[in-house]
A and B are shown apart, each in its own frame.
Chain A
């Protein structure tokens, strides 16, 4: 959906300009490659010639990396490489879906606040302030505890905790667009609120939201790992990087590889999304240097 809206937002010429700017940005390309690589791994997990991520082996408990187990084996003798690849699915999915939840809830609320102004705006803004004043991770922990420990609940918890950022961003964008001539024009010809929002306002607030979304995916992946680390995310026996770390911390002395791989993977993916987000920001920035 985001791609369609971007094309709505920008005329063809500037679209080409954005693309060429993005392409010239080497670090953004690196980011895209990292994200693409892990995304591909996650998608292809069922097809790759790797061990069953759930198959246990009592005779191969916590084996260090060796040809048989390239990344070693875990506390009940499962292949860590295979769990890393399947874990990519959980971690990326968690990052993306929670941000989609945050956008689907935050953007409409922000649109309403910004567009209608007045009391609606005041009430929504105070609520947003309140939500932003509560620590993000604490909110996510409490929500995840409320919903019960599972990957999907962690996504909802993270999504709702990340929502206020999108409300505030959208509202700010709407405020700056709302007084533009073409919006006034649309109102003058008698278009309904919904039409005006959909056709004239939304497309113009989309670029910064895309940038924010990309960067929030990075935060959300770390948040999912944090929740799983506290036992509130992905549940056994299915793997996610965070839950692998949660187990690994008990075997730090004996099996450090159990902690090194998942942490390094989170680190890389998050760098990828951050690079990508920065690149998009530069490319979409109308101020030309």
Chain B
């Protein structure tokens, strides 16, 4: 068994550190390009940001003063460099709409979305892994077929529709769970859990489907491998074979996938947060796009991209750490 054959002795392996450093170096220009892209994209947005924020009165003198204040009359490149310089020194600018520093907004919203991501992942793992294992072990049976149908449904159902249907049924008709009203878990854990239950279920369904399919195929691959056949031939009980040998080895791609899915969760929360009025990253950014709140759009997209790249790196490192063959290959 490959897992047992190699002791975990080389975690401090310099080649590992070099590998990570290399990955970070590659990620830096990517982030720089993201910053250029997001800055240009939102400069292209129609509608004068100052006018969008001017409200009904639209007093020209005030508009001019605001444009001056936010340097909106400067050449594009100047604006970009000023913003980038600020970002590098930890100043992401202020929201045009509320006057709050963007970094403070990010600090307020990120924990909410992370909580949502964790709870969704919890649902996804809870549903996805056992059904994946079951489907692989019972391959070709009705159970396998059923698990596949459920997974496919999870992948195909539009999240926002599932969300409004749940609100309709659970909140409006039955009155079981609140339709919105986020509360921090540090203030009221029960309420926090209640308000996050539906949104994390909605987000979790799609992830569960992906996890189930990967668990199933990884398990199938492992189950057909020689050492499992040997173990079975040696007369080990099938439950033991599945749980101790097969699953442990099938786990590797699943863990990597989980890390990758986390990165995607940050983005996937966009509509779900909108539906359930959760004051997280997704709602922040959609509202900012519609309000033309430039600094917020820029800061949040950059932050999301960073999170995404970070989770990719984590997945990559995990893959190497957990896979002895890869470790020696370094």
Contact = CB atoms under 8 A, between A and B. Distances in A.
The answer to whether A and B touch in the complex, with CB atoms under 8 Å apart, is yes
A263 B161 CA distance: 6
A267 to B, nearest CB: 5
B30 interface: yes
A130 B161 CA distance: 30
A275 B152 CA distance: 8
A225 B158 contact: yes
Contacts of A252: 164, 167-168, 172
Interface string B276-305: 000000000110011000000100010011
B160 interface: yes
A229 B160 contact: yes
Interface string A105-149: 000000000000000000000110111111111110111011010
Interface in B11-30: 26, 29-30
B46 A271 contact: no
Interface string B101-130: 000000000000000000000000000000
A260 B45 CA distance: 34
B44 interface: yes
Most chain A beta carbons < 10 A, residue from B26, B158, B165, B304: B158
Given A133-B305, A266-B161, A148 B46 contact: yes
B158 A133 contact: no
Contacts of B297: 142
Contact of B289 (A126, A134, A141, A270): A141
A108 B12 CA distance: 43
Interface residues of B, number: 43
Given A146-B46, A259-B164, A263-B161, A135 B304 contact: yes
B266 interface: yes
A130 B297 CA distance: 16
Interface in B155-180: 155-158, 160-161, 164-165, 167-168, 172
A274 B156 contact: yes
A230 interface: yes
Nearest to B167: A252
Interface residues of A, number: 40
A36 interface: no
A146 B158 contact: no
Given A126-B33, A134-B301, A145-B45, A245 B152 contact: no
A46 interface: no
B143 interface: no
A96 interface: no
Interface stretch (B34-42, B76-84, B89-97): B34-42
B321 interface: no
B308 interface: yes
A222 B305 contact: no
A234 interface: no
Given A134-B304, A138-B270, A263-B161, A253 B172 contact: yes
B285 to A, nearest CB: 6
Contact of B308 (A133, A141, A253): A133
B54 interface: no
A245 B163 CA distance: 12
Interface of A: 27, 126-127, 129-139, 141-143, 145-146, 148, 218, 222, 225-226, 229-230, 245, 249, 252-253, 256, 259-260, 263, 266-267, 270-271, 274-275
5 contacts: A130-B34, A135-B267, A142-B45, A267-B158, A270-B158
Q: Which 6 A-B pairs have the closest CB atoms?
A: A135-B267, A263-B161, A130-B33, A133-B305, A270-B156, A271-B156
Interface of B: 26, 29-31, 33-34, 37-38, 41-42, 44-46, 148, 152-153, 155-158, 160-161, 164-165, 167-168, 172, 266-268, 270-271, 274, 285-286, 289-290, 297, 301, 304-305, 308-309
